[in-house]
Amino acid sequence: MRDMAGLDEGAPLFVQIAERLADEIADGGLVEGEQVPSTNELAAYYRINPATAAKGIAMLTEDGLLEKRRGIGMFVAAGARTRLLAERRKRFAERYVEPLVAEASRLGIDANELVSLIRDASHGQGGTTI
Amino acid sequence: MTPAISAAGLTRRYRDQLALDQVTLDLQPGSITGLLGRNGAGKTTLMRIVAGHEFASAGTVTVLGASPAENETVLRQMIFIREDQSYPDFKVRYAVQAASLFYPNWSHELAGALIEEFNLPLNRRIRKLSRGMRSALGIVIGLAARAEVTLFDEPYAGLDPVARELFYDRLLADYAEHPRTVLLSTHLIDEAAGLFERVVVIDRGRIVLNMAADDLRGAATSISGPAIAVAEFTGGRSVWDRRRIASQESAVVAGALDETDRARAAALHLRLEPLTLQQVVVRAAGASMASPAEKNAERTSA
C-alpha cells in the first residue's frame, strides 16, 4: 500500500481526514480562527483524491467546527475546541472506561486494584488530577 | 450535467466470445475513476470503444456529449494511453512534439518537468527505449495533454515502484490544479486506491460494482475467534466467506458494523478487521455467478 500519512484503507478516507483535523483542533494544533489547509494541500499531503479531502472538510463544516470565509478558505470556528472536548468527555466512558473494565474483569482484576493501577499510571505521566 | 463518458447497453462480441455485455455507465466530469477487474474482464475493450478505436456490436457511447468515432472535436479532448502503447519509430522528442500539436490544452511546462523527472532521453529512438521508459513516455504525454477525458489503461508496464509513485503524485497534483475526467484501469488496487473517487469493477464483460470508493472501505468486516462465538455473531447476516481451523473460525460479513455490533463482538471476544478497498474489490470481481458477494455488489450498484 502507498504511504498515505497513516490513513488506513479499512474505513472511509473522508471520515479519517475529518477525524485528523478534529484531533488537531482538540489538541490545539489548529486554534480557533486559524485557517485550515486547503483541499488540494490535504490531497497532496495524504496522497488522496481532492474530492475525498473536500468531503472531510465538508463534514466538519456541517458540524459547525469549520467555517467558510468567501474567497479566502476554511477557518476553525469560534468555540470549536470547547465543543469537541465536551463531546469527547461524553464519549470517554463508553470508549475507554467500559472496555477497560471489561478486560479487567476478564483477568480477575477487581475494582480496587484497577483504581490503584490507574493511579500509578497517572503518576507515571506526571498527572495530578487523580 | 452532461456526463463526460456515457455508455448505454454497450455490447461487444468477438466471434464466440462476449467481451462486453450490456455495459451501462455514466462518468461525471471532474472525477478520477478506477476501472478494475481481472485479466480479460473487458476493461481494455471498454476503453477502446470509449476512445473510438473500436466499435460496439450493440449499444451506444458518447464522450462529452458526442459520439467519439472519427469525431475530431472529441478526439482532441480525449487521450487514451494503453499498456504497451506503440509509437511510430521516431525519436522521443518528436513523439512529444506531435502530441503537443494535437492536444489544445497541452502544457509544455508540465511535459518538460515530467521528462526530467522520468529521465526520458529525448534524442533516443522510441524503439530503443526499455519497456519502462516507453511507459514513462505514455505517462508524460497522457498527463501533459491535459485532455478533458484522460484514459489510462494499465499505463505502467515495466515501471518500477519509484516511477509509479511519481506517476500517482503527479497525476494527483496536476488533477487538483486542472480537474478533468480520468479513467484509470489497474491491477495495483492497493497502490492506487487513494486516487479514486469512484470504483467500477467489471467481470466477464459486465459491471458488477460501481460505487464511491469511500463507500467500499469498511463495507465488509472480517470476524474471527472461537467458532461458536463467530457462528453466534454471524447468524442472520450475509456471510461472504468462511474459514475454519480447529476451534477457530474466520468469516467475512457484508455491511458496516455499528456500535452495538462492536460491543457484542467485544463481549464474545471476537476480533474485527475491516476489509480494505482492494479486499472488497477482489471479492466482488472473483465471486462466482451465484455468490452472495456478487449479488450484494449488484444490489448496491443499482
For B257-290, how does the pLDDT look when each residue is reduced to its tens digit (9 = 90+)? Answer: 888 898 889 888 899 998 999 988 888 776 633 3
Q: Report residue B254 as a C-alpha cell.
A: 457484508
> No. of H helices and E strands in chain A?
6, 2
Q: Report residue B64 as a C-alpha cell.
A: 462529452
- Chain B residues touching chain A at CB-CB below 8 Å: 31-32, 165, 168-169, 172-173, 175-177, 179, 190-197, 213-215, 217-218, 266-267, 273-278
- For residue A10, what is the DSSP state? T
Substitution target in B169, B214, B252 with the highest count of A β-carbons within 10 Å is B214
Q: Where are the alpha helices (DSSP H) in B103-156?
A: 108-117, 131-144
CATH of domain B5-214: 3.40.50.300
Q: Which of B168, B177, B276 sits opposite A9 (nearest CB)?
A: B276
Between CA A93 and CA A127, with CA A113 as vertex, the angle to 5 degrees is 60
CB contacts of B196 in chain A (<8 Å) are 49
* Nearest alpha-carbon partner for B59 in B99, B12, B9, B94: B9
Distance from the Cα of residue B56 to its chain's centroid? 21
Give strand pairing partners of B212.
Answer: B198
A49 in reach of chain B (CB within 8 A):
yes
Backbone angles phi, psi at B114, to 5 degrees: -70, -40
- Count of other CB atoms within 10 angstroms of residue B122: 12
Whether B77 contacts B148, CB under 8 Å = yes
Give strand pairing partners of B209.
Answer: B201
H/E run at residue B232: helix B227-234
Cross-chain Cβ contact B190/A99 below 8 Å: no
Helix (H, G, I), strand (E, B) or coil at B287: coil
- Domain spans in chain A, listed from the N-terminal domain onward: 13-78, 81-124
CATH class of the region A13-78: mainly alpha
Cross-chain Cβ contact A43/B274 below 8 Å: no
B70 Rama sector, left if φ>0, alpha if ψ -120 to 50, beta otherwise:
left
CATH topology classification for B216-301: Alpha-Beta Plaits (3.30.70)
List, as ranges, residues 59-118 from A with C-beta within 8 Å of B: 99, 102
Which amino acid, B144? A
Give the pLDDT of chain B (302 residues) as one tens digit per residue: 899 999 999 999 998 899 999 999 999 999 999 999 988 899 999 999 999 999 999 999 999 999 998 899 999 999 999 987 888 889 999 999 999 999 999 999 999 999 999 999 999 999 999 999 999 999 999 999 999 999 999 998 899 999 999 999 999 999 999 999 999 999 899 899 999 999 999 999 999 999 999 999 988 999 999 999 999 999 988 888 889 999 999 999 988 788 889 888 988 889 999 899 998 888 877 663 334 443 444 444 43
